[in-house]
Amino acid sequence: MARILIVGGGYIGLYAARHLERRLPTGAHELVMVSPENHMTYQPFLPEVASGLIDPRAVVVPLRSALRRTRLILGEVERIDAESRTARIHLSDGRRREEPFDVAVIGAGSWSRTLPIPGLAEHAVGFKTLPEAIWLRNRVLAQLDTASEAEDVEERRTALGFVFVGAGFAGIEAIGELEDFARAALAAYPPGMASEMRWVVVEATDRILPELDPTLATYAADRLLERGIQIRTDTRLVSIEDGTVRLSDGSSIAAATVVWTAGVRPSPLASASGLPVDDHGRVRVDRTLRVEGIDGLWAAGDVAAVPDPHAPSGYSPPTAQHALRQARTLAENVAALLDGRPPRPFRYRNKGMLCSLGHYRGVADPLGVPIRGFPAWFLHRTYHLVYMPTVGRKVRIALDWTVALLFPRDIAQLGSLEHPRDAFRRSAGS
**Site mask, a second copy, residues 78-117, x = CB under 8 A?**
-------------xxx-----------------xxxx---
130 binds a second copy (CB under 8 A): yes
22, 71, 96, 280: which one binds a second copy (CB under 8 A): 71
**Please, which residue, 282 or 361, has the CB nearer to a second copy?**
282
| Residue 50 and residue 59 in contact, taking contact as beta carbons nearer than 8 Å | no
5 binds a second copy (CB under 8 A): no
Measured between alpha carbons, how far is 105 from 240 in angstroms, rounded to an integer? Answer: 39
Among 11-19, 68-76, 203-211, 310-318, the segment contacting a second copy (CB under 8 A): 68-76
260 binds a second copy (CB under 8 A): yes
Read off the amino acid at residue 124: A
348 binds a second copy (CB under 8 A): no
- Paired strand residues for 355: 363
Measured between alpha carbons, how far is 35 from 14 in angstroms, rounded to an integer? Answer: 10
Among 166-174, 275-283, 367-375, 384-392, the segment contacting a second copy (CB under 8 A): 384-392
271 binds a second copy (CB under 8 A): no
**Please, which residue, 150 or 324, has the CB nearer to a second copy?**
150
362 binds a second copy (CB under 8 A): no
124 binds a second copy (CB under 8 A): yes
286 binds a second copy (CB under 8 A): no
98, 118, 149, 347: which one binds a second copy (CB under 8 A): 149
26 binds a second copy (CB under 8 A): no
9, 44, 52, 166: which one binds a second copy (CB under 8 A): 52
**Site mask, a second copy, residues 190-209, x = CB under 8 A?**
x-------------------
Gyration radius from the chain CA atoms: 23
35 binds a second copy (CB under 8 A): no
Minimum CB–partner distance for residue 310 and a second copy (Å): 31
44 binds a second copy (CB under 8 A): no
19, 39, 156, 282: which one binds a second copy (CB under 8 A): 39
**Please, which residue, 272 or 423, has the CB nearer to a second copy?**
423
Looking only at residues 385 through 414 of this chain, which bind a second copy when binding is defined by CB under 8 A? 390-392, 395-396, 399, 403, 406-408, 410-414
48, 132, 173, 365: which one binds a second copy (CB under 8 A): 132
**Please, which residue, 264 or 291, has the CB nearer to a second copy?**
264
Minimum CB–partner distance for residue 97 and a second copy (Å): 9
Minimum CB–partner distance for residue 122 and a second copy (Å): 7
Minimum CB–partner distance for residue 280 and a second copy (Å): 15
153 binds a second copy (CB under 8 A): no
SS3 track for the chain: CCEEEEECCCHHHHHHHHHHHHHCCCCCCEEEEEECCCEEECHHHHHHHHCCCCCHHHHEEEHHHHCCCEEEEEEEEEEEECCCCEEEEEECCCCEEEEECCEEEECCCEEECCCCCCCHHHHEECCCCHHHHHHHHHHHHHHHHHHHCCCCHHHHHHHCEEEEECCCHHHHHHHHHHHHHHHHHHHHCCCCCHHHCEEEEECCCCCCCCCCCHHHHHHHHHHHHHCCCEEECCCCEEEEECCEEEECCCCEEECCEEEECCCEEECCHHHHCCCCECCCCCEEECCCCEECCCCCEEECHHHEECECCCCCCCECCCCHHHHHHHHHHHHHHHHHHHCCCCCCCCCCCCCCCEEEEECCEEEECHHHCCEEEHHHHHHHHHHHHHHCCCHHHHHHHHHHHHHHHHCCCCCCCCHHHHCCCHHHHHHCCC
Number of residues that bind a second copy (CB under 8 A): 75
28 binds a second copy (CB under 8 A): no
CA distances for 108 relative to 126, 147, 199, 303, 319, angstroms: 18, 40, 33, 6, 15
61 binds a second copy (CB under 8 A): yes
Measured between alpha carbons, how far is 301 from 110 in angstroms, rounded to an integer? Answer: 9
Measured between alpha carbons, how far is 39 from 59 in angstroms, rounded to an integer? Answer: 10
69 binds a second copy (CB under 8 A): no
Minimum CB–partner distance for residue 26 and a second copy (Å): 16
Minimum CB–partner distance for residue 246 and a second copy (Å): 17
